[in-house]
Amino acid sequence: MTVLRIGEGILSIAEIVGIFYLLFMFSEKRDTRKWKDGLLYLLVAGVCGLLICQRITSGLYSRYFMLICISFVSILAFSFLKLALWKCFLITALYFETLSFFDVLIVYLWALAVKEMGTVEYIQLQTSAERVVIMLISRAILIGMVIWIVNCKTVGRSVFIKYRKLFIVFVLLEYIGLLYCDQLFLFNIVDNRVINIYFVFFPLLLLFGIVWIVNLILYFEKKDEITAIHIRSDMMERNYQDMVMLYQQRSVIFHDIKNHLVILSSLMDEEEFNKARQYIKKIQEPIKALDQRRYTENRIINSIINDKDKKATLYGVSLNIKVIGDFMTAIEDIDWCAILANLLDNAIEACEKVPVEERKIDFSLVQKNEMIILNISNPYCGTLKLMDGKLRTLKEDKLLHGIGLESVKYAVDKNNGTMEYSFMEHIFRVTIVLLP
């Protein structure tokens, strides 16, 4: 019996550790002062002790004690973690209700398997090998789900925030299902096979329905994510190819300069001055179109800046450029395209929507030893806000929105960098530090 009690206690502790592990995943940066950590661990240990005591005195499943656990853990998480109260409550409620569901269903299915409904009451009220095995199964399933959610951290947090109303419905449905399951422990169930099947059908159907809907949501989220990745890759590749084409065209034209000079020299020798003037006009326009200012030793950076400078001029935007360094680093050309082309395009697009006199972009790209610092600021109109660490605007296209910045973030992360942005007084600023 002592061994069984110890096993039950360990599983109860694992149950509490699992919920706090999940809450830590959803929380932002938290206060790391030692006394707060110590107090948190002490209170968590207290919850574990209460849970073990409840299991010994009252039984495996208690809906009322579950509500106490949900309330207490939610308050603890809200007090010690950087997490909104509604998130604390919703995550905790989903966790404990789902665990109770697993306990009830496995107990009942166990009773059906041995064809003895008295087993239900025995497992519920008495510490036994069957009870420990059932607890082990249900907690293993739930901890496995927690680990899976943590491994899909980004998607999981996004889905949870985006579909929080749906999860609220899940909590309410699970609670209704648990009220229904109370009959297992409050009433004597007639040992009738048909009644038994129907009795377990509703909560089981509810549970599988919840799992199916969550998986469906995750599937579509993943599908959208994959689509966005493809679009992002296409955008990066297109930007890169555009820059390469511009460079190649420029190289071809300047390569042909020798031939142009030979022809002009011949026309001048023959005193065909009118033809020479016409020929000069003919080759002048494409040369002007491809004329580039040299900012760095990096041809792709030069091409991008010159191209976006022409684009800015076309839309009446003043682009103030400051570039210091040769930028002959390990950063790939396609990453420069992702970072510079996307940010400058976004800045120019934002400037198009403000009065002409306010259309100004400050662009600074500085190399200090191995560190590269990029700063871009531009005016904007409309509303910007941060949601789950991501920039959101009022753009209608939900799929394409943010892909440009996601491309930038991907390239920045790839090159051991950081990206920060701010917006105040209708000025949007991006600061990127790269350590290639």
Q: Does 424 map to a domain?
A: no
In angstroms, the CA 212 to CA 210 distance is 5
Decide if pLDDT at 176 tops 90: no
Decide if pLDDT at 307 tops 80: yes
Decide if pLDDT at 257 tops 60: yes
Per-residue tokens: 227: 């689509």
pLDDT tier at 188, thresholds 50, 70, 90 = very low
**% of the chain exceeding 70 in pLDDT:** 68
Q: Does 11 map to a domain?
A: yes
321-348 CB burial, b ≥16 within 10 A, e <16: bebebebebebebbbbbbbbbbbbebbb
Average pLDDT over residues 382-388: 61
Hey, is 127 helix, strand or coil? coil
Average pLDDT over residues 290-306: 81
Per DSSP (E only), the strands in 286-338 are: 318-324
Q: Does 182 map to a domain?
A: yes
196-205, 367-376, 421-430: least confident range = 196-205
Hey, is 226 helix, strand or coil? helix
Hey, is 37 helix, strand or coil? helix
Decide if pLDDT at 230 tops 50: yes
Q: Does 119 map to a domain?
A: yes
pLDDT for the residue 432: 93
Higher-confidence residue of 275 and 41: namely 41
Q: Does 153 map to a domain?
A: yes
Residue type, 396: E
pLDDT for the residue 362: 95
Most trustworthy range by pLDDT among 174-178, 202-206, 397-401, 422-426: 422-426
In angstroms, the CA 414 to CA 88 distance is 33
Q: Does 57 map to a domain?
A: yes
Q: Does 288 map to a domain?
A: no
120-140 pLDDT tens trace: 666 777 777 888 888 888 888
pLDDT tier at 398, thresholds 50, 70, 90 = very low
Per-residue tokens: 411: 């390239």
pLDDT tier at 333, thresholds 50, 70, 90 = confident
pLDDT tier at 190, thresholds 50, 70, 90 = very low
pLDDT tier at 321, thresholds 50, 70, 90 = very high
DSSP 8-state secondary structure symbol assigned to residue 356: G
Q: Which residues contact 236 (CB under 8 A, 6 or more apart)?
A: 334, 337, 338, 407, 411
> How many domains, in total, are found in the chain?
1
Q: Does 157 map to a domain?
A: yes
> Which structural domain range is residue 173 located in?
2-191
In angstroms, the CA 279 to CA 283 distance is 6
Ordered alpha helix ranges (H), 126-256: 129-151, 153-162, 164-181, 183-186, 193-255
pLDDT tier at 434, thresholds 50, 70, 90 = very high
Higher-confidence residue of 19 and 222: namely 19
